Structure formats: structure tokens, C-alpha cells
Amino acid sequence: MTSPDTCRIAVLDDYQGVALTSADWSVLPPGCTVDVAREHLVGEDLVAFLTDARVVVAMRERTAVDAALLDRLPALELVVTTGMRNAAIDVSAAAERGVTVCGTGGLAGPATELTWALILAGLRRIPEEAAAMRDGAWQTTMGQGLEGRTLGLLGLGHIGQRMARVAHAFDMRVTAWSPNLTAERAAAAGAEPVGKRELFATADVVSVHLKLGDRSRGLVGAEELRAMRPDAWLVNTSRGPIVDEAALLTAVREGWIAGAALDVYDEEPLPADHPFRDTPGILATGHVGYVTGDNYRTFYTDAVEDVAAYLAGAPVRRLDPA
């Protein structure tokens, strides 16, 4: 068991190696030490790294902190997640074991920006044209524009609303569907509420912006993808399990749709041999929607504040069981 005068803080999944430089950890009380894992840890490697840690700082939903893991970490007192929601952390199990869970602030802009980057890169064939230029070629593809086309938003929450505003700047029509969408909320965002099938059938780009839950898991399957036009694109920067991966692979390979742009997956990091990495028509990035310097500074600065507040006996941004 650790001494009450010491506090080992374990930071998970710092792929870019920026956790320690994105915030001032020196403001924490004497006796605090910070250890950083640059790689994604699983199984016994994860348990070994977290042993004797009083605090774990988790980056988004990269690592599951469930009851089984918590039971193996008797020294753990505080889990900090970047953002104010993390489906990979069992907040109820933590509370039952006396472990506090706190969150951080975050920026909505990076996810919106990355979604539009993927849309533009896919429709304008930017990866192919850039590769062709490196090979000495010139004008090898025919891109597709956005003006006058339809963006279908599957979900019209905070990020979906930002997506709609940008779409209007491109002179696009915006449609939206979600299980609880009202006409008033759609109108306030500048979107036309439509049925789910109509959204898939009429959109040039379908962009997913739903939270992952029992109702949204597998929501986009073969039926929805078959309803799309063969020149339409599916974009998912929300959560991988919302879209049926097998159905999407078939849809792209058999030409049901023109392509898919993805930043999220059922399993992350995406296995090296996963077909999403090399299937023509799939533009894939490694869940970098939130990965910007500004966002990381917000995440880690707030994480330091969470730790300091907890050690002072007054936790902030506490996440309680639903």
C-alpha cells in the first residue's frame, strides 16, 4: 500500500508523448510522481503498470476501466478521464469500490474539423491526388463537389449542429435524424428533419454524430447502407460500433456506396491486418478527431486540476453513476 504522503499518478495511452508537456504537473503537492505509458497496455502489462497507482489518468475511451480491473488495483483512489463522458469506465463499479471518477473539459471544434477534413479528402480524392503527385503524375481522378448537395446528419447534438453550420457555408442542404429529434430543434440548427430511411436514401454524405449506447449500437447496417446511392459517402467520427463493420466492408467492396471515411472502429487501436487499412474506397484515420494541441492542453491542464482538487479533499468535475 502506498504512503498517504506519496501519490503515484499513472497516465495511460500517451501515444504522442505529450502528456507531461501539455500541462504543468509541478503544481501538484510534493510526493506526487507521474508515470506515462506511451503504448496501449492490456492484460497483465496494464495491471503491472497501474499497480500502486493512487490516480489513473485515462485518455478518452482507449482503455477499459471495468470492475475486473478495479478489483486488482487496491491502491487506486481516483480515475480522471479526459472529457466528461467515457463509456469505457464503469463509474458505478468505481463508486462501489470507493474510487472517485472525474472528467475534464474539452473542445468541440477538433472533431468537427476532422469530420470535414475527411469529407473533403474523400470527395475530392485528395489522398489519391497527393500520392499521384509524389509519383510524378498529374490529375488522375475526378472529384465531387459539395455545393448543392445534401449532408445527412445522423444525430444533431453539439457536434451535429456545428456540422450543419459549416455545411451551410458550402451551400449544402442539411437533413437530420435521431431517435428523439424534434422539428423545433432541427429548425434551430438549420436542418430538415427526415425519417431515417429518407436520410440514407437522399444524402450525398451521411455523417454519424450519435453517442454509443444500446439504441445506437449497430444502427447503421446493411439495410441502411443499401438505401444509400452508389455515389454517396458514409463518414463516421463518432463511435465505431454504431456502424456494422462487416456490412460497411461489403457496401464499399460491392459498390453500394462510393466510399467511407472513418476515424473510429470496433477495436482500437485498429489491428494491423484489419481490411479497413487497405480496402480501396475506405479513407481511415486513427481516431484523431480530438487530437490537437489545444485540446490536449485543455485535457491535461484540467486533469492536473482534478488531481490537486481531489488530494485537497474537494473533487471537481466529478462523474457519478447514472
Q: What pLDDT digit, counting tens, does each position of 19-57 carry? A: 999 999 999 999 999 999 999 999 999 999 999 999 999
Range of the domain at 64: 7-107+292-311
Q: Is 287 a catalytic residue?
A: yes
- Catalytic entry in 61, 224, 268, 305: 268
Q: Is 239 a catalytic residue?
A: yes
Does 253 lie in the same domain as 118?
Answer: yes
For the chain, the 3-state helix, strand and coil shares in percent, each to the nearest 5, are 35, 15, 50
Does 114 lie in the same domain as 163?
Answer: yes
- What's the pLDDT at 2? 47
Does 148 lie in the same domain as 67?
Answer: no
Does 299 lie in the same domain as 170?
Answer: no
Q: Is 317 a catalytic residue?
A: no
Does 227 lie in the same domain as 156?
Answer: yes
- Cell 473533403 appears where? 120
pLDDT mean over 252-274: 97
Number of domains in the chain: 2
pLDDT mean over 265-280: 96
- Catalytic entry in 62, 209, 239, 305: 239
* pLDDT tens string 81-139: 999 999 899 999 999 999 999 999 999 899 999 999 999 999 999 999 999 999 999 99
pTM of the model: 0.92
What percent of the chain has a predicted confidence (pLDDT) above 90? 96
Q: How confident is the model at residue 312 (pLDDT cuts 50, 70, 90)?
A: very high
Is residue 91 one of the residues assigned to a domain?
Answer: yes
Does 216 lie in the same domain as 170?
Answer: yes
Does 73 lie in the same domain as 24?
Answer: yes
| Mean pLDDT over each residue of the chain, to the nearest integer | 96
Does 247 lie in the same domain as 207?
Answer: yes
Does 39 lie in the same domain as 83?
Answer: yes
Does 100 lie in the same domain as 33?
Answer: yes
CATH number of 270's domain: 3.40.50.720
- Catalytic entry in 60, 62, 162, 287: 287
Strand ranges, E, within the chain = 7-11, 32-36, 55-58, 78-81, 100-102, 150-154, 173-177, 192-193, 205-208, 233-236, 259-262, 282-284
